[in-house]
């Protein structure tokens, strides 16, 4: 072969090689999506997978800003602040070829409001949804709700014809263990479509050739292979050996090692997610505790003792190796309503905690079972273990029961756990979302994740009033009042806000999304 | 006979001679005794109770061996794990769990295996066929799988608050039930040989019941091979316990056995905290290896055909 031909071949190989490897993104994180039904579980990882396949009317981009998706514009109808009007994107088709119309939006929002939907808590203020014409939809709220669009960022639109033809017109009842067609099959409008899926093993996506966003987004990824790897060490080994390109949750102890490895980088950012413990303070008697005929958690002194027995700084320094932001309130600083005063960490005071326990009549302590996930939050099981030790120091013997999130979350929704760890991301960036899911009494569409038994009629009516309060100053004052009451009653035991650590190959250009929601249509290769 | 004479007789026996002259046996025996001693005296030798979560100081977490902790200034001989647990104490207590589970599981396997083996060998016929076919079926499954199955069922049946308390017993049950086949097969074979011997026929002529013959006459004569298998099974049981705990289905993290400690340590291999994995792993290696060597030596010594 003449020399110039060899040179040409090498040059060609050099040009082609990065392109060839740039097509497939191998992505790993600790846990899998719980279901493909986009309305069945309001959970971060489940939404992450859904966001690649399905689209909401609008969503938060990689910087956390609300941007158009299936709607191109939205505004309240002049003269009627109770109605939001959405103009839909033209010429969008579902993966199956069906045209996207206003009818699909009406169907999807009504579907998400059904009893078995886990998204209904986001739509409590929605009174009605109507198609004005093929590309215009009106959403009417109970009173004016200036912040409605914040609640729609994870509200995915499904095709009406496809859902009805496949017996999936109602959402899968996940907590009851139901399965359905839409839980295993998809038909969205998103940049990627599902190729194959084995839950907890491997999910493969390919680029949607008819995506409406061509030319607007990088869309450089043509195939995504998603592998949930529960073991932290195995996940890191896979990244170090080049078996995967992108790991969303490198364990904090391995960040240094990954960052210093050739060809890999770590990108950090504060996450809009708070980690806390909940305990059932409403029941007359707990089943998993050693106390007969009384509920120790019902006593505020016990809850206060527990709250000040948590050494949040030790958890931050040792368990999280500095990669967390300890907090005294179940609200990340991103959220409207956060103040430094609310976020202040309660001082760790064992002597005071012990005397509070003695005052409450539990000087000799008691035992109780704690339910903890082991594949959801950063170092979740290690935090629970450390927490068990801290509770032991004030006489509370905690039996730790750690399970994967697919078994853990239903115990909260079915109210079978009495003491549990939970993390809460706030996609609306507003306190109302926390209140409506976690603080409001569990009744109807409200309080679906409130497993504390906490029920305060004043607080409930203040929460409902937030939905139609148009004067933002008054609204913020009400939010402050609700928080003061929640803090006063010690409804939850906050631990910290998470810090995100995304690790990826050096040639991947991707910003950390504050909700831990990667949208791969934005990913580009360098 | 005086005590001195007895001691001399013992010292001069073939068995002890074989032991005295085998360096491998002496070293293996010493290591086993050292580890047994450590496990027995764990509460005296350890500096803290590693099972008492309330006694742990999280700030002591990840302290390297023989170096003061950056926050508290405390120093630990073998360092600490992620929860601030002193590894030296954790290993001693973990050894206890491992040995207790090992011995109890072997005891259970022996009890089941010897009884079934005696019955099969002595009675023969359909009893023999039934027991041996069940054994054949069980041998086709890896014993760790059977142990995991039993563990899974037990976990489903027990209420969550009782799981931690019963975890050790479930471990013993699952390992014991998965290791009985070896005993049954050996005892059956030896019983079939022994039952044709004249002393058994004499006992039968005397009118002794079958149970008495099996227990008083045959059993003592099959104990030699059983002892050898028991020693080797002990090593297997200790490793099975460690494997199950490593997989997260054994001893709970709040009551760590050696396998649990290794499983915890594995998470910190990449980050350079090698001691959390290394010391429990070395202890397990030393224990399993010396028990195995001792078993091999015992088999060679008790089997006259090999001499």
Domain ranges within chain B, ordered by starting residue? 29-45+86-306
Taking an 8 Å cut-off on Cβ atoms, the answer to whether A314 and B58 are in contact is yes
Its pTM surpasses 0.95: no
Taking an 8 Å cut-off on Cβ atoms, the answer to whether B54 and A392 are in contact is yes
**For chain A, which residues make up each domain, given as ranges?**
24-230+506-525, 271-498
Taking an 8 Å cut-off on Cβ atoms, the answer to whether A389 and B268 are in contact is no
Give the separation between CA A83 and CA A132, rounded to whole angstroms: 12
pLDDT band of B306, cuts 50, 70, 90: low
Q: What is the pLDDT of residues A202-242, one digit of tens each?
A: 999 999 999 999 999 999 999 999 999 988 889 999 999 99
Taking an 8 Å cut-off on Cβ atoms, the answer to whether B58 and A393 are in contact is no
Q: Does B252 touch chain A (CB under 8 A)?
A: yes
CB A250 within 8 A of CB A236: yes
CA distance B258 to chain A (A): 18
Q: Does B53 touch chain A (CB under 8 A)?
A: yes
Give the separation between CA A191 and CA A209, rounded to whole angstroms: 8
Find chain A residues with C-beta within 8 A of B255's C-beta.
none
CA distance A399 to chain B (A): 6
Q: How many CB atoms lie within 10 A of CB B1?
A: 7
CB A39 within 8 A of CB A56: no
Q: Please, what is the angle between helix B275-302 and helix B87-123, to 10°?
A: 30
CA torsion A72-A77-A78-A81 (nearest 10°) is -120
In this complex, the residue of A232, A315, A317 whose CB is nearest that of residue B71 is A317
The set of residues, in sequence order, having a beta carbon less than 8 Å from that of B78 and lying 6+ positions away, is B65, B86, B87, B88, B91, B275, B279
Q: What is the mean pLDDT of residues B198-206?
A: 90
Taking an 8 Å cut-off on Cβ atoms, the answer to whether B160 and A400 are in contact is no
pLDDT band of B157, cuts 50, 70, 90: confident
| Strand, helix or coil for residue B98 | helix
CB A296 within 8 A of CB A286: yes
Q: Provide the token pair at A144.
A: 């004016």
Q: What is the pLDDT of residues A97-148, one digit of tens each?
A: 999 999 999 999 999 999 999 999 999 999 999 999 999 999 999 988 888 9
Q: How far is CA A285 from CA A205, A289, A307, A418, B217, in A?
A: 48, 9, 21, 10, 60
pLDDT of B67 higher than 70? yes
Give the separation between CA A142 and CA A470, rounded to whole angstroms: 12
Q: Provide the token pair at B86.
A: 């002193």
Q: Does B64 touch chain A (CB under 8 A)?
A: no
Q: Does B204 touch chain A (CB under 8 A)?
A: no
In this complex, the residue of A257, A367, A392 whose CB is nearest that of residue B270 is A257
Q: What is the mean pLDDT of residues B235-249?
A: 87
CA distance B54 to chain A (A): 4
Q: Is A395 left (phi over 0), alpha (psi -120 to 50) or beta?
A: left
Residue A19 has what pLDDT? 41
A contact test, residue of B52, B53, B57, B277 with most A CBs within 10 A:
B53
Q: How many CA atoms lie within 13 A of B61 on its CB side?
A: 23
Q: Three-state secondary structure along A206-227? A: EECCCCCCECCECCCCCEEEEE
| Strand, helix or coil for residue A261 | coil
Indicate the fold that domain B29-45+86-306 takes in CATH: MetI-like fold (1.10.3720)
| Higher-scoring residue by pLDDT: B148, A490 | A490
Q: How many CB pairs under 8 A join A and B?
A: 78
Taking an 8 Å cut-off on Cβ atoms, the answer to whether A389 and B253 are in contact is no
In this complex, the residue of B59, B161, B266 whose CB is nearest that of residue A233 is B266
Residue A5 has what pLDDT? 55
Find chain B residues with C-beta within 8 A of A254's C-beta.
270-271
ipTM of the complex: 0.76
| Higher-scoring residue by pLDDT: A526, A443 | A443
Find chain A residues with C-beta within 8 A of B62's C-beta.
318
Q: What is the pLDDT of residues A361-387, one digit of tens each?
A: 999 999 999 999 988 999 999 999 999
Q: What is the mean pLDDT of residues A473-488?
A: 96
Q: Please, what is the angle between helix B258-266 and helix B275-302, to 10°?
A: 140
pLDDT of A21 higher than 60? no
In this complex, the residue of B59, B160, B253 whose CB is nearest that of residue A318 is B59
A contact test, residue of B52, B90, B267 with most A CBs within 10 A:
B267
Taking an 8 Å cut-off on Cβ atoms, the answer to whether B163 and A401 are in contact is yes
For B269, the closest chain A residue by CA position comes to A233
Find chain A residues with C-beta within 8 A of B266's C-beta.
233
B 163-182 → A contacts, CB under 8 A: 163-164
Give the separation between CA A140 and CA A144, rounded to whole angstroms: 9
Q: Does B161 touch chain A (CB under 8 A)?
A: yes
Give the separation between CA B104 and CA A26, rounded to whole angstroms: 47
Q: Does B253 touch chain A (CB under 8 A)?
A: yes
Q: Does B269 touch chain A (CB under 8 A)?
A: yes
Q: Which of the four CATH numbers 3.10.105.10, 3.40.50.11540, 1.10.10.1590, 2.60.120.380 does domain A271-498 have?
A: 3.10.105.10
The set of residues, in sequence order, having a beta carbon less than 8 Å from that of A146 and lying 6+ positions away, is A76, A81, A470, A472
Taking an 8 Å cut-off on Cβ atoms, the answer to whether A400 and B253 are in contact is yes
Residue A3 has what pLDDT? 52
Residue B140 has what pLDDT? 86
Find chain B residues with C-beta within 8 A of A390's C-beta.
58
CB A311 within 8 A of CB A353: no
CA distance A390 to chain B (A): 6
Taking an 8 Å cut-off on Cβ atoms, the answer to whether B58 and A400 are in contact is no
Residue A94 has what pLDDT? 97
For B266, the closest chain A residue by CA position comes to A233
Taking an 8 Å cut-off on Cβ atoms, the answer to whether B61 and A311 are in contact is no
Taking an 8 Å cut-off on Cβ atoms, the answer to whether A385 and B267 are in contact is no
CB A309 within 8 A of CB A391: yes
| Higher-scoring residue by pLDDT: B269, A267 | A267
For B265, the closest chain A residue by CA position comes to A233
Taking an 8 Å cut-off on Cβ atoms, the answer to whether B254 and A400 are in contact is yes
For A230, the closest chain B residue by CA position comes to B267
- Range from A14-28, A48-62, B38-52 that averages highest in pLDDT: A48-62
Find chain B residues with C-beta within 8 A of A256's C-beta.
271
| Higher-scoring residue by pLDDT: A185, B304 | A185
By a Cβ cutoff of 8 Å, what residues of chain A touch chain B? Answer: 231-233, 236-237, 240, 251, 253-254, 256-257, 288, 311, 314-315, 317-319, 367, 369, 371, 381-382, 385-386, 388-390, 392-393, 398-401
Find chain A residues with C-beta within 8 A of B69's C-beta.
none
Find chain A residues with C-beta within 8 A of B253's C-beta.
381, 385, 400
For A391, the closest chain B residue by CA position comes to B54
Taking an 8 Å cut-off on Cβ atoms, the answer to whether B271 and A256 are in contact is yes
Provide CATH code, domain A24-230+506-525: 3.40.190.10
Taking an 8 Å cut-off on Cβ atoms, the answer to whether A318 and B252 are in contact is no
Q: Three-state secondary structure along A189-209? A: CCCEEEEEEECCCEEEEEECC
Residue B49 has what pLDDT? 87
Q: What is the pLDDT of residues A321-344, one digit of tens each?
A: 999 999 999 999 999 999 999 999
Taking an 8 Å cut-off on Cβ atoms, the answer to whether A393 and B54 are in contact is yes
Q: What is the DSSP letter of A294?
A: S
Residue A140 has what pLDDT? 95
The percentage of chain A sitting over the pLDDT mark of 90, rounded to a whole number, equals 81
Q: Provide the token pair at B173.
A: 């049950």
CA distance A518 to chain B (A): 26
Residue B167 has what pLDDT? 81
């Amino acid at each position: 072969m003449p020399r110039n031909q060899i040179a040409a071949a090498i040059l060609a190989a050099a040009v082609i090689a990065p392109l060839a490897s740039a097509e497939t993104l191998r992505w790993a994180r600790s846990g899998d999506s719980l279901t493909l039904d986009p309305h069945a579980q309001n959970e971060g990882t489940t939404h992450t997978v859904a966001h690649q396949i399905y689209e909401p009317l609008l969503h938060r981009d990689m910087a956390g800003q609300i941007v158009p998706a299936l709607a191109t514009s939205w505004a309240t109808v002049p003269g009627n602040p109770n109605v939001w009007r959405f103009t839909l994107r033209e010429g969008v088709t579902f993966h199956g070829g069906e045209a996207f119309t206003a009818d699909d939006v009406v169907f999807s929002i009504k579907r998400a409001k059904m009893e078995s939907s886990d998204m209904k808590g986001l739509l409590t203020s929605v009174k009605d949804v109507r198609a004005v014409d093929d590309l215009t939809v009106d959403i009417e709220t109970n009173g004016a709700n200036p912040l409605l669009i914040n609640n729609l960022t994870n509200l995915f639109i499904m095709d009406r014809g496809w859902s009805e033809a496949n017996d999936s017109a109602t959402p899968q009842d996940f907590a009851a263990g139901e399965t359905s067609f839409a839980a295993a099959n998809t038909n969205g409008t998103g940049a990627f479509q599902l190729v194959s899926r084995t839950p907890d093993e491997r999910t493969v996506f390919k680029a949607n050739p008819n995506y409406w966003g061509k030319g607007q987004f990088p869309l450089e990824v043509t195939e995504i292979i998603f592998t949930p790897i529960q073991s932290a060490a195995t996940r890191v080994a896979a990244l170090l050996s080049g078996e995967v390109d992108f790991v969303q949750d490198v364990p904090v102890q391995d960040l240094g090692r990954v960052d210093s490895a050739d060809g890999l980088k770590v990108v950090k950012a504060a996450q809009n997610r708070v980690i806390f413990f909940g305990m059932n303070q409403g029941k007359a008697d707990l089943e998993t505790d050693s106390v007969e005929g009384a509920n120790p958690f019902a006593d505020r002194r016990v809850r206060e003792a527990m709250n000040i027995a948590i050494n949040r700084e030790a958890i931050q320094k040792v368990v999280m190796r500095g990669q967390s932001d300890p907090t005294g309130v179940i609200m990340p600083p991103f959220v409207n309503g956060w103040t430094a005063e609310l976020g202040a960490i309660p001082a760790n005071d064992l002597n005071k905690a012990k005397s509070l326990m003695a005052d409450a009549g539990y000087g000799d302590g008691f035992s109780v079972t704690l339910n903890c996930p082991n594949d959801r939050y950063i170092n979740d099981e290690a935090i629970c273990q450390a927490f068990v030790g801290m509770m032991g120091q004030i006489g509370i013997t905690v039996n730790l029961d750690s399970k994967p999130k697919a078994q853990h979350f239903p115990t909260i929704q079915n109210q079978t756990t009495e003491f549990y760890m939970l993390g809460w991301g706030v996609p609306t960036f507003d306190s109302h979302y926390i209140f409506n899911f976690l603080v409001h009494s569990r009744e109807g569409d409200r309080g679906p994740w409130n497993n504390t038994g906490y029920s305060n009629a004043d607080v409930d009516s203040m929460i409902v009033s937030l939905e139609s309060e148009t004067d933002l100053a008054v609204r913020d004052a009400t939010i402050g009042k609700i928080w003061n009451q929640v803090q006063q009653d010690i409804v939850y035991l906050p631990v910290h806000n998470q810090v995100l650590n995304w690790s990826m190959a050096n040639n991947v250009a991707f910003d950390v999304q504050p909700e831990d929601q990667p949208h791969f249509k934005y990913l580009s290769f360098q | 006979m005086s005590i001195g004479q007895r001691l001399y007789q013992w010292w001069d026996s073939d068995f002890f001679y074989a032991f005295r002259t085998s360096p491998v046996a002496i070293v293996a025996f010493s290591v086993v005794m050292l580890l047994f001693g450590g496990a027995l005296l764990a509460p005296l030798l350890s500096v803290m109770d590693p099972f008492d979560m309330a006694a742990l100081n999280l700030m002591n977490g990840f302290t390297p061996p023989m170096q003061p902790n950056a926050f508290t200034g405390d120093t630990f001989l073998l360092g600490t794990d992620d929860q601030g647990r002193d590894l030296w104490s954790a290993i001693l207590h973990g050894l206890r769990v491992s040995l207790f589970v090992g011995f109890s599981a072997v005891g259970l396997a022996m009890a089941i295996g010897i009884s079934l083996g005696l019955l099969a060998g002595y009675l023969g016929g359909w009893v023999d066929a039934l027991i041996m076919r069940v054994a054949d079926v069980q041998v086709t499954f890896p014993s760790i799988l059977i142990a995991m199955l039993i563990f899974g069922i037990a976990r489903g049946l027990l209420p969550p608050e009782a799981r931690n308390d019963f975890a050790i017993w479930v471990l013993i049950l699952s390992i014991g039930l998965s290791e009985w086949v070896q005993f049954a097969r050996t005892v059956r074979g030896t019983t079939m040989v022994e039952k044709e011997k004249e002393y058994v026929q004499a006992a039968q002529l005397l009118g002794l019941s079958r149970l008495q013959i099996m227990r008083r006459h045959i059993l003592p004569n099959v104990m030699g091979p059983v002892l050898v298998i028991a020693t080797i099974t002990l090593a297997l049981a200790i490793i099975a316990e460690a494997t199950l705990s490593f997989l997260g289905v054994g001893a709970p993290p709040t009551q760590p056995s050696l396998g649990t400690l290794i499983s915890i340590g594995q998470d910190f291999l990449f980050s350079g905290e090698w001691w959390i994995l290394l010391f429990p792993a070395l202890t397990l290696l030393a224990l399993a290896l010396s028990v195995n060597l001792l078993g091999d030596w015992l088999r060679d010594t008790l089997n006259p055909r090999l001499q």
